[in-house]
Amino acid sequence: MLLMAAGASATPRTVTFGSADGRTMVVGYLFQPATPGPWPAVVMLHGRGGPYSSNDNADCTFVGAGTTSACNATTLSKRHMMWGEYWSARGYLALLPDSFGPRGKAHGFGRFTHDDPDRADVNEMTVRPLDAEGALLYLRGRGDIILWQIFLQGWSNGGSTALNVMIRQGNAAGYRGALVFYPGCGQMALLAPTISTVAPIALFLGSDDEEVSPLICQHVAERSQQAGTRIDVILYSGATHDFDEPSSRRQSTPGNQAAMDDALVKAAGILDSWKN
């Protein structure tokens, strides 16, 4: 397993910014590089479980844009901490927005709950893309970010959100590219069956995903490639949903271990190749 850089476990800084919906203040967690800026940046979009550890999120209560003892920068999930530290160690500023907490859903949602009506006001098609667009505006206004080197990364529901951001963005100048991990790609998850954008996309899929269909995502990728979108598919044999979750339970699946190790090698190389 790839080791994180030494000294990379500092608690991320909590910030707030406005969603592009014009009314929601989103809480975000910043992982800042130790090197002087300006930096490229990655906006990380959490999945349907939310950004916090499952050991804590059952006790989440959220008041406005504030944080609680159960849900804050100290209780982020191992995966989000790992990736935030990964990017900051490589000279990227990473921003993890919490789309759920400010809307009273900081506890997140369990598996196979896509039809839960409680998820409607935090959905990946019409709500969460506006938070990602608000994050882009926030980063552009900081003064320490390389404006043409802001990227997206999303997991599962957040991966679908990232694809919808790309669909909305189209040929406009926005996110420079997107790393998308095991998203839902069906008609209930995406705004369009074909993604048409000038920004490159990399899909990371597990062949044994038990929550979403990698085959549907591959079909979306094929149609999008035919439409002229640069979209690459990395399919990991034997890997399941959440293959990059660093918990011992997930990593006990050999396919997940190999997939996570490979993704941690590939991700930075892909963004570095997209910078110019």
Indicate which CATH number applies to the domain containing 255: 3.40.50.1820
- Global pTM value: 0.92
> Is residue 7 in a domain?
no
Q: How many separate domains does the chain show?
A: 1
Alpha-carbon distance 213 to 245, whole Å?
A: 19
In a domain, 8, yes or no: no
Per the domain annotation, does 3 fall within a domain? no
Report the alpha-carbon distance of residue 123 to residue 190 in Å, rounded. Answer: 11
**How crowded is residue 146: how many other Cβ atoms within 10 Å of its Cβ?**
16
Q: Report if residue 5 sits inside a domain.
A: no
Residue 6 placed within a domain? no
The pairing of beta strand 13-18 with beta strand 25-31: antiparallel
pLDDT recorded at residue 54: 73
228-259 pLDDT, tens digit per residue, is 999 999 999 999 999 999 998 889 998 999 99
At 209-229, the pLDDT tens digits run 999 999 999 999 999 999 999
Handedness of CA 17, 113, 124, 226 (dihedral sign): positive
Residue 152 lies in a domain: yes
Domain for residue 90, yes or no? yes
The rounded distance, in Å, linking the Cα atoms of 175 and 256 is 28
Residue span of the structural domain in which 128 resides: 13-275
For 8-40, how does the pLDDT look when each residue is reduced to its tens digit (9 = 90+)? 457 899 999 999 999 999 999 999 999 999 999
Specify if 2 maps to a domain: no
